[in-house]
Every structure is written in structure tokens, then in C-alpha cells.
Structure 1
């Protein structure tokens, strides 16, 4: 029944990028309508413009509140914030588009906090445009954390046969190493364990990356970071009954996880965790913010300004992000 499907708010992201196009193309997949009541939070005029690039024949149904959405298969409901003109340049950094991307997300968070939607699914924003628009955040995750009052959270990437959760994300490598503490590593291990338990994995197998090559190789590489920052957290988690191993060499760990040895990898910094997932294909990855009081999933790619307006952007990551939003959304609403 339609009423039993979760309500998913899809934020348009940066309107100068591929977000509007992949949203339109995603609604061509029957699974989106069949499993959810999804609608767009953005600018209806931008969606109308993107129809010319994608060939979509869907009607854009402008709404001003969620209760007005029809969720009909031949149409796309758009909660129209009416922030941008359809003359917005495509494929260019724009402060107006950056500000609008922030406003779309802020509206979605308000709706989620008010229980009007069950989950948020985000199309990509552009960090430079976001900051030029007056919002000094590194990305979606940090906005979500601040606007929900969440202090402890983590980014999880999910792809076929590989899940990765991060101790640090959008900071430089030197800052990342300084930010890694036993307390933070333990929290992320525990968050990985609890997240997979909720996903139905009875005893999650968790692997923790080292910081240095070969996980330090007993002090041969680095300055004892593994012994100082990681091992105490792993031992504490083991004492609590969590099935965790580490620190392990990152150069072989991701292969072992894809092979099936582990259910999730705890990565220490951004590129250590992101690169292996993206090798599997940009269309396969989904970005999930865990630790928030609301459900948020996202594509794991950027705004792709270089192909915006051509209609060739691949929507598979967004379709998968919507699928995972449905899986994670509160049941029995």
C-alpha cells in the first residue's frame, strides 16, 4: 500500500551540476515509486529545464508542503523553494546555487525533525559554491551534524561487497592524524557495530586500518601511532564483545573485505577509505551519514560540472542511495 512506503525527501544539491538530471532519470526506475513515496526538495523551474537534457516526460508537480504530494508514477512532486532562475549557468560555480543547495538541505532537515519525512537522500553539492554562497562547511555531513545538534557522527560508504566507515573525513592528512584518538576510534568501531546490527547482521566482523604502511610494522614505520591511537580502542571494543581486528595493513585489507573476510572496514582518513570504494565504480557507491538522529543517504560522486547539461550523467548511485534510504527508514510509519 502507498501509505506504508517511507516518505523520502530528495534534495536537489547544486542546481548547476548533474543533480537535477540524475533525479529525473532516477524517477524513470520503477523501483523508486514501487518502494517509496519520494519527492524533490529544490526548484521546479530547474527540474523543468533538466527535462530538456534527459528526455523525461514526467510532469513536475509543484507543491508547497509535503501533504500536497500525490506520489503518482507519471509525475514528480517538487517542494518548490523557488530560489533560482532557469537561466542559472550550467556547469559553473555559482554562489546562488551554493546557497540554494544549503537551503534545500536545511528544509529537508526541518521536515525530518518534524517527522514529515522518513529519510533524506541528497544529490551532490559543490563545496566551493557552498562556501561562496556564505555557508562555510566542508560538505553535507557537517551541515547535517550542526543542524541536528549531533557532535559524534561518521561517514559510511557502501558499495557491493564493501562498507567503509571513517574516523576522519574532510581534513588535511596532517590534521587527520592529529585528530585520531583512541576515544574517536573506539566510537567509530562501536558505531560500525551498531549500524550493522540494525541492518540485520547478527555479529558484524569489523576490521580496523592502520595509519602507517603495514600498520606500522611493530614500530618500523611512523612514530608509534598505531600503539598510541588504535590498539587501545580495539582492545576496549574486544573487551565489550565486539568482533574486531586491527590495526591491519590497509594495502591488503580492502581486498580481504571484498573477498568476504570482514563486513566493514574502519578507515582512518578520507582517501584511505574513499579510494577503494571508488575503484569499484562511482555508480556503485552510496554515502551514508551514521550517528545522526535522522536517516541520510547520498550519491558518492560530485556535481560533475564537466558533463552537466548533457544528459549523460549516470543515475545508478542515486537509485541505490534511494534504495538504502528505504531500507534504513523507520518502519511501520
Structure 2
């Protein structure tokens, strides 16, 4: 069967490993990458294919396509690329550059607009570098905020009325973050009853659609031992507990707040230990991402919740230190594509 619409993979920063893991994914996982194409630069993808070929026998063909629909007829293992205008193709490996940031942003903006317009079924983003993004004059600190702005503009709403959340997931854990790319000091201020409540609603709605049932949501505390009854802080008593109670009154299966240092052990789902929760709400970025990444960065997938489009990404960065060597692992990218296809109802 042919998918009705293809999935677009953004090239990422050309100075990083994004193009290489894309080329490797098309070569090594042709079934998973079927009906996918790359938004970016053909010369950059051909350079990446040559890097991946070192030590391998199988050539990776890179084809130029004019429209997303052409990707549906691409042969297995071929990398279809839709050339974006004005994207640099000579960005040096491993360097933070304005050109690299501009190329990465251009791919994200094009893919977001295509997804919002219904031209593609979903999008998966290869890693970009936040400093390069800033050098390129992009005022958003990362993928999530850039996509949020594009979606808000498309539907004619202020960004504040397009709340989104980041979910990181692997085979054993899922976590959703109350705040994302802000300083720790600002993250503490971001823990309000409204922000926690909004996170619970977005998680319940988005994950419920994906799973087909209401998720069991475990909520982490902010302070050590979840505040120990107010001894180590009152955020749990004054903010988090009231938000959980309000969510439960709406029919959301939320429980907590639980101690941050044990909730992930309770939620971890393995054959030997079925998890108590389907997802954990973390109060800030590192509280949620450290447990996920400790279990294996190669299997982690980032899913943006709350957008009127489907977006996933691998759970790692640009890895400038190994860019151009062809040794980067494409497993997380393949996982991200498969998750996006599942969410979009595409066949593998």
C-alpha cells in the first residue's frame, strides 16, 4: 500500500550529524524510511552519503524531487531531497555558523508550513544547534518554540494561545516537561498552578489520542522529597497538589506529587516491573530528561504535544565532535520516524 502523504525529515544543521544519520537511516532501515523525504540541500545530503559510505559497500543514492508527492514513488534506500532555496551547501563540519543555523531553520519552517497545510502527514526534525540558530537571527531558542510560533501564525492566534509541551519517550519511560528551554531560575518561576494544569490537560489529550486510552499520569514534585510536607518548600502544597486535584475533577488520571528521585523508578516499565504510570510530568527540563537519556540516548524520541501537526525528533544533539566521520548512530532518528508514522496513521 502507498501512503496518502509522505513524511518530511528536516536536514538539521549541516555542520552536525543530522544529514549523516538521515543518510544512514535510509540505507539501513529502508522499510522505516519508506515514503519519507528530506527538506534541505542536495549537495549537503550527498556529502553526508559519502561520509556514511566509509567502510560500507552499499552506495546511497540521493535523488532530487520537485514535490513531496514524488517521495511516495522513491525506491527503497534512495534519499529523496526537496531542495530549499538559498540554503548553504558548503558549511564546514563541526563549526557553529550563521549559515548552518539559517539552513536548519529554513528546513524547519518549510516542513512546519507543509505539515500545517496538509501537504505532508508528519515531520521529523534532525538536530539543530541553538547557538547557530541565534547567529542566524532566529529569535526562538529551539525547535519547539519555532514550531509553536509557526503554528500560532497559521491559525491566527497569539503564541500564548498555542501552548505546547515536550515529551521525551523510550521503550521504558515517557516524560512531559512543564518548562523547556529556560534557565533553572526561570524554570522555578514557571511552576504555577496554571502551567501545571495546562501540562496535565495537554498530556491527557495528546497521549490519550496516541494510546487509545486515558493515560495514568504521575506528577513529580519540585523540591527534594516533594517538599517533605512543606519543610523543603511549599510549591507542592500551594501549587502542584491543587493543580492535580483540579485535573482529577476533570476526569484526568493524575496522581502525586511524588518525590522526584523515585518517581521514574516507579514509572519505568519493563517485563520484570510493569510501570505504575504511563507518563511522568516533570517540573523542569533536566529533571525529566536525565532519567530518559540515562536509559539510552539512542532509543529516545522527542514528541511535541499540543501542536496542530505531528512532530518528532531524535533525542540527541548535533554532535559536532564526530560530524563528518560517518560513525553517528541513526537508531534514535529511525525510532522518531516510526513514532511519527504511528501517530499519523501511516504504514511502515
TM-score (norm 1): 0.95
The answer for the alignment partner of 1:228 in structure 2 is 238
Contact preservation (8 Å) 2:8, 2:38: yes
Distance in structure 2 (CA, Å) of the matches to 1:85 and 1:263: 42
Q: What pairs with 1:166-205 in structure 2 (closer than 5 Å)?
A: 166-205=177-216
For the pair 1:51 / 2:37, whether they are aligned, the reply is no
Distance in structure 2 (CA, Å) of the matches to 1:132 and 1:38: 30
List per-residue Cα deviations over 1:75-104 (Å, max 9, x = no partner).
Answer: 211001153454321011010010111111
For the pair 1:239 / 2:249, whether they are aligned, the reply is yes
The answer for the alignment partner of 2:261 in structure 1 is 251
Distance in structure 1 (CA, Å) of the matches to 2:241 and 2:17: 42
Of stretches 135-144 and 84-93 in structure 1, the one that deviates more from structure 2 is 84-93
Contact preservation (8 Å) 1:156, 1:163: yes
The CA deviation at 1:195 is 2.0
Alignment partner of 2:244: what SS?
A: helix
Distance in structure 1 (CA, Å) of the matches to 2:289 and 2:239: 21
The answer for the alignment partner of 1:136 in structure 2 is 139
The CA deviation at 1:200 is 2.6
The CA deviation at 1:3 is 3.5
Distance in structure 1 (CA, Å) of the matches to 2:283 and 2:168: 13
Alignment partner of 2:138: what SS?
A: coil
For the pair 1:61 / 2:28, whether they are aligned, the reply is no
Q: 1:85 to 1:172 in 2, by over 3 A?
A: closer
Extract structure 1 runs of 4+ deviating beyond 6 A.
Answer: none
Alignment partner of 1:275: what SS?
A: helix
The answer for the alignment partner of 2:287 in structure 1 is 272
For the pair 1:14 / 2:13, whether they are aligned, the reply is yes
Distance in structure 2 (CA, Å) of the matches to 1:206 and 1:304: 33
Distance in structure 1 (CA, Å) of the matches to 2:148 and 2:211: 25
Distance in structure 1 (CA, Å) of the matches to 2:67 and 2:343: 24
Q: What pairs with 1:1-333 in structure 2 (closer than 5 Å)?
A: 1-4=1-4, 6-28=5-27, 29-33=29-33, 36-55=34-53, 57-69=59-71, 70-149=73-152, 151-222=162-233, 224-258=234-268, 259=273, 260-330=275-345
Q: How many residue pairs get matched?
A: 328
| Aligned residues: CA RMSD | 1.5
List per-residue Cα deviations over 1:131-160 (Å, max 9, x = no partner).
Answer: 001102110000000011052110000111
Contact preservation (8 Å) 2:40, 2:87: no
Alignment partner of 2:181: what SS?
A: coil
Distance in structure 1 (CA, Å) of the matches to 2:211 and 2:111: 27
Contact preservation (8 Å) 1:37, 1:71: yes
List per-residue Cα deviations over 1:28-60 (Å, max 9, x = no partner).
Answer: 213324xx4100000000011112210161221
The answer for the alignment partner of 2:156 in structure 1 is none
Q: 1:241 to 1:32 in 2, by over 3 A?
A: same
Structure 1: runs of 5 or more not aligned: none
Contact preservation (8 Å) 1:257, 1:263: yes
